[in-house]
Structure formats: C-alpha cells, structure tokens
C-alpha cells in the first residue's frame, strides 16, 4: 500500500487510523439545495385500540402463578425464571410478582438471563443488560445466575439438538417470562413470546443460532418442534406471558401451563397481540424520522412490523407503508452499542455511529443468520441529526420544491402519537386528531 492509497483510506500509519466519526462530527460541506425546506410537523393522536390495563402487575403475576402452578410445584423445587433483554412494560413488577408467587408455593426460584447472544454473548454482558433494565437481584427478589455455558437436553424429531443454559439445565424446571408480540424475522401462529424465550433465549448463543440460521419458514418450524421437544423432557413448568397495548400498558397477563406454551393459549395471545401492534397509517412516506431505536425497543433496533421493511429473503415486506427513507437519531443506553438492524436506517448522525459496539453487533448478526446480513449494513453517516433529516429530504425521490410526506415518531414501540407534515394532513385515518401545531 503506497502513501497515496493509505491517505485515501484514512490510514496514518501501520495499525493507526483516524476516527471517521470524529471527522464527520467536525463538520463537512453537504450539497443541500439552498431552497430545500424542512417542513413543519404537526402532532397527531393516532386511533389505536385501548384495552383496560392490568391494575397491579406484580399482584396479577403472583396470583396467576399461585393459581396455575400450584398443583405442579413441590416444596424445594428449583425453578430457573427467564428474564429477557426487551424493554417490557412493568418488567420488574412482572418478575417480582412471578418470583413471589413461586416462593409462596414453596419453590426456590432464581433468575436466568434468557436472551440468546445478546449482551455481547458474555455472562457479564447479559447480567449488565438486565441491570440496565432495572432487573437487579434486590429489585426482583431473587439471585441472578448468568452463564453462557449450555447443555443439550433433548433433540427434536428431525434431529435438531435442544440446548439450555447450564444453570437452567441444573434446575428442576424452567419458566420463561416474556411479552407476546409479532416477530421481526418470520410469521407464524406463534412468534415472539414464551415459546421463543424457552427455545431460543434459554438456549444462549448455540440455541439462538440454530433457530435463526435458516429462512423464515424453517425458523417457524424449528421453533414449534423445539418447544415440543422441550415439553417432552418435563423441564418446562410453563410460562408467564404479557400483552402490551400501543400505549405501553400491560393489558393481558396470563400464566401458561406446559401444554399452553406453544399451544392454543399462546396462539390466541399472539393473535391478540398482533391486533394491538401500532401501525403507521399512511400508504406512502417519503421520510420517516425515528427518534430512538434499541434492543429494548425491538430485537432489530427498529421494528419492521411498523416500518414495513423486513429485508429477509423469503419474507415479503409489507405492502403499506412504503417508506422511501428512514432517519434514526439515537440508540438507547440499554442496547449497550448492539445495533443489529441499523441497516434499516438510511441515515444516522455521527454520534450514533461512534456509539456502536461492533463486536456485540456482529455476534448478534452471526447468531441471527440470514436475517442479519442486510440488516447490519452501515447507513450513511452525517455530522448531525439535522443533516440526516435534510439529506433524507434531498434523497427521498421528490424534487426539492415538492411537498414531502414526513412522519416523525419517538420509536417503533408504543406508537400512539406521531408528527406529520402538511402533505399528510389530508390522509389522516378516521379517528386521528391534530393535538399540536
């Protein structure tokens, strides 16, 4: 490599490179049209289902555990309770109530981080992720036992090995505690919930990799076959499932027996959750601005069930909305720099790029298999969020002086309001109202 080539690549010496994000943060001249206008946005209240919330999540979890698991728990039984990396509403109360119910039945529960390869595929990283989400030992009332070691406990009828976290495998029973919602990589009668946590989350990196390594159709089959094999071992106590509204409130909380996990009850919960997923009620969007993404918001940072971009071979994108460009302005602290799904965005500011932990991200991408390829590509990185918005407006396919359909949201989770430009005011859905100008 000669000096001219090294300079073009930003290399200043052997093993020494300039930080490109620092260069961008210092500012660069961008060729925006001088007459380009960033449109004013109006706050819109969206018409979303609004079921009554569960009044006391901790008490409801306690009571459900006592009612459903009472006949199946014996004094001294050790139970590994799964806690995940998603930002569940009332997650601490949910876990604390579950644990208190198990203790009241005479069991000895402890918590296992059941999150596949998240947290950089390290025990300390997974424990830290739980703590960032408020799930400390003091808060939930139980010991947290974290390891990445796994044990094969069964095989499916077609020979796929089934893994459990070593601490979970040493327990008498496991109990996944999770939110039920649509998945980001496949479609089926059961998607994200107790079944996925039991088979994928408790299986750590190898368990997650073998499920995610295939296409969406096979992934669905492997998940259902996996829960059948796990149930047959007698290790599955059941599950504790929640469903959240678009407002982020727990509106269903239900303890599931072993046959309910992966069975009719979880399937019914999945359908109910799917009906509550917040949608962007516009067919065409020129620029979608997402204020915040993250692993606690969606496993793919930005939820494709909202944006319509799935970008997985064998899984079609949504017919609506069709989004020309996406701007992502920030990543949550709980993500720990893991940005699988950053490729869904077209533009990010330099501050977001500088905060990416590529080791964590790529471990998650490799575990995710084919769904991690396109989704992990680097967006265009510009100095500031304002630059990203102006770039999106410049490159969305409309002339600089043409009205743009712009939507701004806080995140793809709990979507009850958004901000829209004038060009979309005539397309508001029935029941929507302008709440701010």
Phi then psi for residue 182, to 5 deg, are -60, 145
Pairing of strands 417-420, 16-17: unpaired
Question: Is it true that domain 57-276 has CATH number 3.40.50.11440?
Answer: yes
Ordered by start, the domain boundaries in the chain are 16-48+278-436, 57-276
Cβ contact 93:61 at 8 Å: yes
The least confident of 54-68, 305-319, 322-336 is 305-319
Q: Which residue has the higher pLDDT, 376 or 437?
A: 376
Torsion angle of alpha carbons 414, 416, 417, 418, nearest 10°? Answer: 60
Cα–Cα distance, 290 to 272 (Å, whole number): 26
Q: Is the peptide bond before 321 cis (omega within 30 degrees of 0)?
A: yes
Mapping DSSP onto H, E and C, the string for 134-165 reads: CCCHHHHCCCECCCCCEEEEEECCCCCEEEEE
Cα–Cα distance, 416 to 393 (Å, whole number): 24
With a pLDDT cut of 90, the percent of the chain lying above it is: 61
pTM check: above 0.85: no
403-425 pLDDT, tens per residue?
A: 999 999 999 988 889 999 999 99
Cβ contact 59:385 at 8 Å: no
128-140 pLDDT, tens per residue?
A: 989 999 999 999 9
Cα–Cα distance, 400 to 390 (Å, whole number): 10
Q: How far is CA 138 from CA 72, 109, 134, 141, 143, in A?
A: 27, 14, 10, 5, 8
Residue 305 CB coordination number (10 Å): 21
Q: Which residue has the higher pLDDT, 218 or 102?
A: 102
Helices 216-232 + 204-212 axis angle, to 10:
140
Q: Say whether pLDDT at 192 is over 60.
A: yes
Mean residue pLDDT of the chain comes to 88
- The structure tokens listed for 375 are 């989704």
Q: Based on C-alpha coordinates, what's the Rg of the chain?
A: 23
275-296 pLDDT, tens per residue?
A: 888 778 899 999 999 999 998 8
Residue 297 CB-density burial (10 A; 0-12 exposed, 13-18 middle, 19+ buried): buried
Question: What letters, b where the CB count within 10 A reaches 16 and e where it falls short, cover 129-154?
Answer: bbebbebeeebbbbebbbbbebeebb
């Amino acid at each position: 490599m000669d000096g001219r080539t090294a300079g073009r690549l930003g290399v200043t010496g052997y093993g020494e490179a300039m930080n490109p994000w620092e260069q961008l943060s210092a500012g660069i001249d961008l060729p925006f049209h001088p007459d380009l206008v960033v449109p004013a946005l109006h706050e819109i209240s969206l018409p979303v289902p609004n079921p009554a919330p569960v009044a006391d999540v901790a008490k409801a979890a306690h009571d459900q555990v006592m009612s459903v698991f009472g006949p199946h728990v014996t004094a001294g039984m050790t139970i590994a309770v799964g806690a995940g990396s998603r930002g569940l509403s009332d997650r601490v109360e949910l876990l604390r109530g579950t644990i208190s119910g198990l203790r009241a039945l005479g069991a000895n529960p402890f918590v296992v981080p059941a999150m596949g390869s998240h947290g950089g595929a390290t025990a300390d990283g997974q424990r830290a992720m739980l703590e960032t989400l408020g799930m400390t030992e003091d808060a939930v009332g139980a010991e947290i036992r974290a390891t990445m070691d796994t044990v094969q406990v069964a095989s499916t009828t077609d020979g796929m090995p089934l893994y459990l976290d070593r601490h979970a495998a040493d327990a008498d029973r496991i109990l996944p505690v999770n939110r039920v919602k649509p998945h980001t990589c496949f479609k089926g009668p059961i998607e994200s919930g107790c079944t996925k946590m039991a088979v994928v989350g408790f299986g750590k990196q190898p368990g997650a990799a073998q499920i995610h390594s295939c296409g969406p159709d096979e992934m669905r089959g492997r998940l259902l076959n996996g829960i059948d094999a796990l149930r047959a071992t007698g290790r599955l106590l059941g599950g504790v499932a929640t469903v959240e509204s678009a407002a982020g409130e727990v509106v269903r909380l239900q303890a599931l027996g072993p046959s309910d996990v992966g069975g009719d009850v979880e399937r019914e919960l999945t359908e109910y959750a799917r009906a509550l997923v917040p949608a962007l009620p516009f067919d065409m969007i020129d620029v979608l601005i997402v204020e915040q993404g993250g692993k606690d918001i969606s496993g793919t940072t930005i939820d494709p069930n909202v944006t319509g971009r799935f970008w997985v071979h064998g899984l079609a994108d949504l017919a609506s909305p069709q989004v020309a460009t996406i701007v992502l302005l920030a990543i949550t602290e709980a993500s720990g720099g893991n940005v699988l799904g950053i490729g869904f965005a077209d533009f990010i500011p330099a501050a977001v790029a500088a905060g990416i932990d590529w080791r964590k991200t790529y471990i998650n991408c490799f575990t995710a298999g084919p769904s991690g390829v396109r989704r992990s590509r680097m967006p265009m990185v510009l100095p500031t969020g304002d630059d990203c918005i102006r770039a999106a407006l410049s490159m969305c396919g409309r002339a600089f002086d043409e009205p743009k359909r712009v939507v701004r949201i806080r995140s793809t989770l709990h979507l009850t309001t958004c901000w829209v430009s004038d060009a979309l005011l005539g397309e508001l859905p029935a029941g929507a109202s302008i709440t701010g100008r």
